[in-house]
Structure 1
Amino acid sequence: MTLTSIQVDVEVRDRLKAIADASNTSIKQVVARMAAQTMTPAELAERQARGRAAMATNGVVVDDDPADPDRRAAEAFWAGLEGDKP
């Protein structure tokens, strides 16, 4: 794998160093973990599509409109999946 450099402000570098030191790792590993855990817009859209498909399978259809009457049902559905109380 080819290595490269990324220029950041001193404050960002110092913060990355503090995060790395706190987890006994390197800045390289902190940045790699952040990149792996952060979704791209395409990944977010795909996750949203999968979520909508899962809800539709359970009879809940949510429109993009925040005033959608099924919104409360969808929120309750997700709360149930996550183990939270709606």
Structure 2
Amino acid sequence: MKINLRYFASVREAVGMGQEAVELPADAGTVGAVRGLLAARGGAWAEALAPERPVRMAYNQVMCGPETKVEEGAEVAFFPPVTGG
């Protein structure tokens, strides 16, 4: 299954790109699984998307949790939490 990924703010800076298209393995059916696969790339990916890091996720431009199902052609985005002041 092919999906589009987008990275924003400090996540984009850490991984060195704003977007990419990826082919997912059959067992990567949720947003949380996609995050895990990206973190498994190691290096900056592991640091930016580590499970203990506060990273927000969106599926087709709607905020979501890690259990959200991923479908062909979808967009998954990762970004740091936003704070106000």
The higher relative CO (CA closer than 8 Å, separation ≥ 6) is in 2
More strand by share: 2
- TM bracket, shorter-chain basis: under 0.3
More helix by share: 1
Q: TM-score, structure 2 length as denominator? A: 0.21
Q: TM-score, structure 1 length as denominator? A: 0.20
Q: For the pair shown, which has the larger CA radius of gyration, 1 or 2?
A: 1
